[in-house]
Amino acid sequence: MILIAGLGNPGARHARNRHNIGFMAIEAIAAAQRIGPFRSRFQGLVADGTLGATRAALLMPQTFMNESGRSVGEAMRFYKLGLASVIVVHDELDLAPAKARVKVGGGNAGHNGLRSITAHIGNDYKRLRLGIGHPGDKTLVYPFVLGDFSKEEMRWVDVICEATARAADLLASGEDARFQNKVHLAVEAAGFGGKAPE
């Protein structure tokens, strides 16, 4: 059993924010893998199903980003999971748009959602980092992440979320390199190769 938590802020006005790409990825996984419906639980929305041969719970915390750890910690305790069975999907300023990287642990790079989760459950959980790029100036980060993706940007967002959804069984079974490669190839095939992983 694994828990995949996508990060974002609840409510219609945040739905297309760059900070909400984690929610977008979870929704894409649920749709592609026919997991659902979502129900209110663990201070979030959760849906149980399978990804390949792995039982999985998909979680979207509804606590607002800065308190994401409360929801993730509650779900983790309910399912009796260790850190190795938790995957957090989030926006990453330090990756170019349309790049996807999987890593375990590491710094939180000022990401308040990750900071909250680390405070509640520890740091050595797996992260799926989805690149959104950087506005180029530290003072612009807050409005940038809380701003909506443009119509043009949504083209690559849809591609990377769909690619993530189709390869989610590899992520669930711990085949991180194969997962990254499959997502990279899908992004490249869609014409966003210049922004995709090397």
Which residues are designated catalytic?
19
Could you tell me the CA-to-CA distances from 183 to 8, 94, 128, 177 in Å, in that order? 21, 18, 12, 10
What DSSP string describes 139-159?
GGHHHHHTSBPPHHHHHHHHH
Q: What is the bridge-based pairing of β-strands 86-92 and 126-131? A: parallel
Q: Which tokens hold the place of 159?
A: 């591609």
- Rounded to whole angstroms, how far apart are CA atoms 59 and 39? 10
- Whether omega for the bond prior to residue 37 falls within 30 degrees of 0, making it cis, is yes
Could you give the dihedral angle defined by the CA atoms of residues 96, 147, 122 and 106, in that order, rounded to the nearest 10 degrees?
A: 20
